Structure 1
């Protein structure tokens, strides 16, 4: 199992508030594949501060499994619950977008600095050696 850090694409770890400007922030990271992903690999978002409430998670992936019968699935969660937001998504089988959709995907108050992680739950049949996985986390920062 390997853990990969995504490259922060937001300004100073967060882009300006969205929506009605009441303190909602978003942080985004992108990981560019240097080799095929494997079972239990983890891609981490940039760090989100303790006291933040995570509202939504969006994952955008290219085709991560080039086999005619792809098998890769991705979970998205955090340290204590790796599939809290997204469970067994097939987004990496052909590329696309996945949003928080797991039964448990409700606002999450972080009690410590943490990352939101993309976990390779099922490995690819034929892993792509190029491509990207992007993760955007929408949250209320502490004291918002």
Structure 2
């Protein structure tokens, strides 16, 4: 589709947080069951930008340089003694995603899928190669 989006916002409007969340949730729904079934407790958040504390902790100077973040411990590092700890979270940063979308001319749904898979990959402790294979599987 011309313009790079499979779902459209009204002409002249930036894609909404709801659209980005819908694409991310659709991506999660298309994951192979062995991954999708282990994401039940992970919270998906679409925020405008990362806060200063997050940027400082990661050594990132500009908020538009961070499109997503997994906050939690990879599954392989969790223990049953952690009951009661807050759920893991996947943060998608809308304005940074939109900036990258504009700069790269990648389809918005492809970009959101990429960022979502990358952050899910951190939840599972996957390598970059494994994340690319998972992204291919979720794109079908």
Taking structure 1 as the reference length, the TM-score comes to 0.29
Higher relative strand content: 1
Which one has the bigger helix percentage? 2
Q: Give the TM-score, by structure 2 length.
A: 0.30
